[in-house]
Structures are given as structure tokens and as C-alpha cells.
């Protein structure tokens, strides 16, 4: 029920009237994050940037050592078995400590598909290494001609005795250059209708025929790649579930999406904190930028929009806890989160003024001024309204599914 006795501050989200057990849990995770978040991560995390792959692995191993390697997984597969409230507490405490979001492609994208639809052999082989951080998975879904329009993919998988032979090209394969595993969609039946005839494969990246070409993005960081598949020969055991049903397996992720968006969205408080600190430390004449009521108002505007989004996330988690459908709210949250991440990091960059113009070293000389994390985070943020279904696609989805248009 709506609890009028709740003491609530959306930016200090844990002041809800928690049960004593929940309070103890909060204290436990809070202490963990405060003690264990590497200092070197914090500035970049605060700017909304992704860590380096090796750092992600370090973080995953730290969590695994504490038994929290897979916060959202059921216990039987090595997860924590936490309920939505616990997950939400975990993520908001991480946010407050400037701890990163775990890398999601193994944990949140393929892991749940494997434990839902995979064979026992696949579960045994793949799940533990996701939790320990020993395996790094990348996702081979998008193709040059099939970005938003995934159903028109053209990578082919041809059965050849006990093998499939896969040829094609994948685009936007994040971290293919560091991954040792890849899950990919390929067309096994060229005559079937668009979404039918597509199968899901689990691939070792060292299989002959796989070539990775780096794609550098406008934040000057190497996140993503093209992957060329040239007659890549896989044993039939690489097939996950049934042939031709690969498209449908992704649906299991829709139910889990709420948790993933919540984890990411709670991190906006980090970026807000960074921007506020920048305004408070930027000296102008005798005062600081935050003394300017125009600056203070713009910060307040961003803050209240973040609060509204936090409220949407909290309602979603509450509905998840009581088994209710949240309709298209996960799509809405993705849209608003990416818009706000862009606005907050843009404003933060503006607050830095000329410091934000000192972006890269010349002849390896030290940069004059602070590291340009805010500017890099700002540039990176441009892709968040494009990936995972662009915001335009999200609006199409909401209009069609939820509004019936």
C-alpha cells in the first residue's frame, strides 16, 4: 500500500521505511561498496563512462568473492536470489559509492537465456564462468543492414553433418576485441518468414574464420567492432535451444529488463553529483559558479527530472515485487534515462568551461588541467539514445504495444 509514514528523499533513496532485515542488508552492502570500490574507478564512473575491460573483470571478481557475482540470478544457478527490493537497495548503494554497474552482456543478456533455454551441458559449461568473470561474452546480433531492423539479418548458418557453417558479418559488436565468447543470431532457414528461421549460437571467439575489426567511436575509445564470420565451423552443440527459434528466446529478457534499467538509472545521481561538484569548485572571480542563481536553477531542473525518473523506477520495482505488469514503462525509462544522461553530462562539460577543451595530450605531455572525463562521458552519452533500440524505436514500441496505435 501507499505508506504515508514513509520518510522519503528520492535522492537518498534508501530512507524508505525498510524492514529491519532490509536495513541490515542496506548497511551490509553500503559498507561493502564504501570499502571495496577502487578509488581509480570513481571519477570515470561518476562521468557515466564505462571502465576498461580489465577493470570490469576486477570488479566482477571482487563481487564474486563476496558471493554477489550475479545479484539478479536465482540461487540454483549461482545467483544471490535477491528480491526486487534487495536488488534496488544494492544498486542505489552502489550508485552512492560511485561503484560501477556490472558489465551486462554475459550476466544480463546471455546468462538468463542459457539458464532458461540451454542444455544441462551448456549451463554447466558457461554459467559459472560468467559469475567468476573468467568468461567475457559479446553479442552478435546487429548487422550492417540490420541495426534497428534486426529481423532482416542475413548471416547464414548452414547445417553440414554434425556442424553448422556460419558466414556473414556482424556490426556494433561491443568488446568483441576482448571477449572469448560470443552469442550470435544466424538464419538457419532462408525460406522462413523474417523472424522465423533464425537460430541462436554460442561461439568461442578463437574458432577459425572469425575476424574482428575495431571501430573507434567519437569519444576516442575502442568499445566496439565489426566481426566477420568466414565459414566458421561450429559443432551442433553450439546451438542453443531449438533451430529456428532463436528470435523468441530474447523475449525472456523483456521481463528482466526492468532490473537492468533500474541498475543503470540509479547511476544518474552520480552524474548529478559530479556536475554539482564541478559548479561548486569552479571559481569565477570571487565566488563559484554555483553562486549564480541561473546555474543553481539549471542544476535543480536536472535534479527534479532525475527525481521523477527515480520515482518511475521505484514504482516499476514495486510492481515487479507484487507481480504486476508495468506496461511500457521500461521503454519510457530507457528514453528518459538516455536523454537525462546526455543533458547532465552536457551541462557538466559546460560548467568546466575551457578546461573541457583540454582533451588529449600532445606529444605525450601532461594535460593542462583536470582529466577530461566529463567531456568524454558527454560524448559517450550520445550513443545511449541509439543503442539497445534507438529512442525513436522505443517510441514506436510504446505507441504500438501500449497505446494500440
Partner 1 sequence: MDFNLTVEQQMLQDSARRYGAEHHVFTAWRARIARGEAFERKSWANMAELGWLALNVPEDLGGLDATPVETMVICEALGRHLMLEPFVSSCVIAPQLLREAGPRASELLAAIGAGEAMVSVADAEPDGRFNLNHVATRAEATPGGFRLDGVKSHVLDGGVADGFVIPARTSGAVGDADGVSLFLASADTPGLVVEPSRAMDNRVNARLRLEGVTLGQDALLGEIGQGSARLAQAIDAGVVARLAEALGAMEAAYDMTLSYLRTRSQFGQPIGAFQALQHRIVDMAIACEEARSMTYLATLSLSGAEPARSRTIAAAKARVSQTSLFVGRQAIQLHGGVGFTEELAIGHYLKRLIMIDMAFGNADHHRTRLAELSRQAA
Interaction residues for partner 1, span 276-315 (CB under 8 A): 276, 280, 282-285, 289-290, 293-294, 296-297, 299-301, 303-305, 307-312, 314-315
177 forms part of the interface with partner 1 (CB under 8 A): no
Cell of 137: 561474452
293 forms part of the interface with a second copy (CB under 8 A): yes
From 91, 108, 143, 257, active-site residue: 257
Sign of torsion over alpha carbons 257, 74, 69, 251: negative
235 forms part of the interface with partner 1 (CB under 8 A): no
Restricted to residues 353-392, the positions that interact with partner 1 (CB under 8 A) are 353-363, 365, 367-369, 372, 375, 379, 382-383, 385-387, 390-392
* Alpha carbon distance 354, 131 (integer Å): 43
Restricted to residues 97-136, the positions that interact with partner 1 (CB under 8 A) are none
Kindly tell me which of 179 and 299 has the beta carbon lying closer to partner 1: 299
Could you confirm whether 343 is annotated as catalytic? no
161 forms part of the interface with partner 1 (CB under 8 A): no
Q: How far is the CB of 338 from partner 1 (least distance, A)?
A: 10
Closest CA to 376 of 48, 38, 52, 42: 48
* Alpha carbon distance 86, 121 (integer Å): 31
Look at the chain and count its residues: 405
The residue assigned the cell 522465423 is: 196
| The pairing of beta strand 198-204 with beta strand 239-240 | antiparallel
DSSP labels for 274-304?
Answer: HHHHHHHH-EETTEEGGGSHHHHHHHHHHHH
| The pairing of beta strand 287-288 with beta strand 224-235 | unpaired
10 forms part of the interface with partner 1 (CB under 8 A): yes
Q: How far is the CB of 186 from partner 1 (least distance, A)?
A: 20
Binds a second copy (CB under 8 A): choice among 134, 160, 297, 392: 297
Q: How far is the CB of 366 from partner 1 (least distance, A)?
A: 8
Q: Binding pattern to partner 1, positions 57-96, x when CB under 8 A? A: ---------------------------xx--x--------
Our CA angle for 264, 266, 268, nearest 5°, is 90
231 binds, among a second copy, partner 1, none (CB under 5 to 8 A by kind): none
First and final C-alpha spacing in the chain: 32
Q: How far is the CB of 292 from a second copy (least distance, A)?
A: 8
155 binds, among a second copy, partner 1, none (CB under 5 to 8 A by kind): none
* Alpha carbon distance 194, 151 (integer Å): 6
Binds partner 1 (CB under 8 A): choice among 27, 52, 220, 255: 220
Judged by CB under 8 A, the stretch of 92-100, 239-247, 287-295, 335-343 that binds a second copy is 287-295
Kindly tell me which of 208 and 323 has the beta carbon lying closer to partner 1: 323
To 10 degrees, the CA torsion angle through 211, 217, 220, 221? -50
| The pairing of beta strand 198-204 with beta strand 181-187 | antiparallel
Q: How far is the CB of 125 from partner 1 (least distance, A)?
A: 32
Contact 112, 77 (CB under 8 A): no
Q: What is the contact surface with a second copy in residues (CB under 8 A)?
A: 292-294, 297
Give me the active site residues, please. 257
Amino acid at each position: 500500500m501507499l505508506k504515508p509514514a514513509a520518510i522519503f528523499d528520492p535522492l537518498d533513496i534508501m530512507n524508505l521505511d525498510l524492514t529491519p532485515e532490509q536495513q541490515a542488508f542496506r548497511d551490509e552492502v553500503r559498507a561493502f561498496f564504501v570499502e571495496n570500490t577502487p578509488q581509480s574507478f570513481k571519477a570515470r564512473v561518476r562521468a557515466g563512462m564505462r571502465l576498461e575491460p580489465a577493470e570490469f573483470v576486477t570488479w566482477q571478481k571482487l563481487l564474486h568473492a563476496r558471493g554477489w557475482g550475479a545479484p539478479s540470478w536465482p540461487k540454483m544457478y549461482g545467483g544471490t536470489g535477491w528480491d526486487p527490493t534487495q536488488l534496488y537497495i544494492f544498486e542505489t548503494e552502489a550508485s552512492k559509492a560511485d561503484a560501477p554497474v556490472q558489465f551486462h552482456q554475459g550476466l544480463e543478456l546471455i546468462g538468463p537465456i542459457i539458464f532458461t533455454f540451454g542444455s544441462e551441458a551448456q549451463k554447466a559449461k558457461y554459467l559459472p564462468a560468467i559469475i567468476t568473470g573468467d568468461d567475457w561474452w559479446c553479442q552478435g546480433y546487429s548487422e550492417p543492414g540490420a541495426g534497428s531492423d534486426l529481423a532482416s539479418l542475413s548471416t547464414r548458418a548452414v547445417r553440414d553433418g554434425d556442424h553448422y557453417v556460419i558466414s556473414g558479418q556482424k556490426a556494433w559488436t561491443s568488446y568483441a576485441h576482448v571477449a572469448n565468447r560470443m552469442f550470435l543470431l544466424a538464419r538457419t532457414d532462408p525460406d522462413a518468414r523474417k523472424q522465423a528461421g533464425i537460430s541462436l549460437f554460442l561461439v568461442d571467439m578463437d574458432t577459425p574464420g572469425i575476424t574482428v575489426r575495431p571501430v573507434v567511436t567519437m569519444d576516442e575509445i575502442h568499445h566496439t567492432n565489426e566481426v566477420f564470420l568466414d565459414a566458421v565451423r561450429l559443432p551442433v552443440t553450439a546451438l542453443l535451444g531449438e533451430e529456428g527459434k532463436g528470435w523468441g528466446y530474447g523475449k525472456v529478457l523483456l521481463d528482466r529488463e526492468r532490473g537492468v534499467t533500474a541498475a543503470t538509472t540509479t547511476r544518474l545521481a552520480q552524474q548529478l553529483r559530479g556536475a554539482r561538484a564541478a559548479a561548486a569548485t569552479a571559481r569565477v572571480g570571487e565566488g563559484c559558479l554555483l553562486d549564480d542563481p541561473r546555474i543553481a536553477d539549471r542544476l535543480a531542473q536536472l535534479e527534479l527530472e532525475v527525481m521523477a525518473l527515480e520515482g518511475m523506477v521505484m514504482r516499476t520495482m514495486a510492481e515487479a515485487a507484487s507481480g504486476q505488469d508495468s506496461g511500457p514503462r521500461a521503454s519510457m525509462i530507457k528514453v528518459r534515462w538516455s536523454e537525462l544522461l546526455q543533458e547532465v553530462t552536457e551541462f557538466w562539460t559546460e560548467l568546466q568551461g575551457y578546461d573541457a577543451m583540454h582533451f588529449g595530450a600532445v606529444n605525450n605531455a601532461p594535460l593542462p588541467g583536470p582529466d577530461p572525463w566529463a567531456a568524454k562521458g558527454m560524448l559517450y552519452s550520445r550513443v545511449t539514445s541509439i543503442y539497445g533500440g534507438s529512442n525513436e524505436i522505443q517510441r514506436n514500441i510504446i505507441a504500438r504495444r501500449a497505446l494500440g496505435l
